[in-house]
Amino acid sequence: MTNLMKMVAACALLTGVSGGFAQTLLTSPPQDVLQLSASASVDVPQDLLVLTLATTKEGGDAAAVQTQLKQALDAALGVARVAAQPQQMDVRTGAFGMYPRHGKDGRISGWQGRAELVLQGRDFARITATAGKVQTMAISHIAFDLSREARAKVEGDAQGKAIEAFRQRATDLARGFGFAGYTLREVSVHSNESAPGPRPRMLAMEAKSAAMSADAAVPVEAGKAQVTVTISGSVQLR
């Protein structure tokens, strides 16, 4: 009976040691693991023009101001829809809002409203010419962007360069630490777009110049966008 109790105690001791060893393996940090990242960028011309037309109206009666805004927007839409073409020039309404004005006594003394119309697309000449024909709204903002198709086209190139840069850096670091090479443990890919250098051209015009004709087109020139892909991850040195 005594021998049996000793055997049971010995088994329990071995089980405890084995479990503790396994727990140590699970909780111990990985050895010879390197965290790193690499990026690559590709410049691409911005191929999308976003032009915003706007008008502001004010008066003592909210309903009258709203009616004036609606009339101005309807007239602008009538001109823009004639020239609209999918992807070349898309037309959409922008912000439309009414705001009270307060007097010195804190009471509402009048109303001010603003309506916007947005022309967006790849045909810069069509967009600017159409904007010049709209008589009920003025150009308030011009900006440039990158279309989804243009972005996808260069994102693959940037990704390939980023992967190659990641692999080269991992190889160099492994050798620098005295290892022959590495194996990939985990990796993540991130991409973003920015406009390096000067900001895209923007205009703010409260009213059209008296010298501007109905067919006048505002001169615009797009810049370049920069698509950057970053590869981050960890490698096991070996």
Same domain, 39 and 57: no
What is residue 73's predicted lDDT score, i.e. its pLDDT?
97
**How many of the other CB atoms lie within 10 Å of CB of 113?**
21
Q: Examine the pLDDT at 124 and tell me if it is beyond 70.
A: yes
CB 35 within 8 A of CB 174: no
| Residue % of the chain over a pLDDT of 70 | 78
What is residue 196's predicted lDDT score, i.e. its pLDDT?
52
CB 77 within 8 A of CB 93: yes
* Cα angle value 103/104/105 (rounded, 5°): 90
| Residue % of the chain over a pLDDT of 90 | 67
What tokens appear for 3 in the block? 């021998």
Q: Is the residue at 202 inside a domain?
A: no
Residues 6+ apart with CB under 8 A from 206: 138
Q: How confident is the model at residue 28 (pLDDT cuts 50, 70, 90)?
A: low
pLDDT tens, position by position, 51-82? 999 999 999 999 999 999 999 999 999 999 99
By residue range, what is the domain housing residue 153?
Answer: 30-47+147-196+224-238
Same domain, 53 and 137: yes
Provide the number of structural domains found in the chain: 2
pLDDT tens, position by position, 79-107? 999 999 999 999 999 999 999 999 888 89
Domain end position, chosen among 102, 117, 145: 145
Q: Is 178 left (phi over 0), alpha (psi -120 to 50) or beta?
A: left
CA 153, chain centre distance (Å): 16
Q: What span, in angstroms and rounded, lies between the C-alpha atoms of 160 and 34?
A: 21
Q: Is the residue at 54 inside a domain?
A: yes
pLDDT tens, position by position, 129-177? 999 999 999 999 999 999 988 898 899 999 999 999 999 999 999 999 9
Q: How does DSSP assign 177-194, residue by residue?
A: TT-S-EEEEEEEEEEEEE
Residue 184, domain CATH: 3.30.110
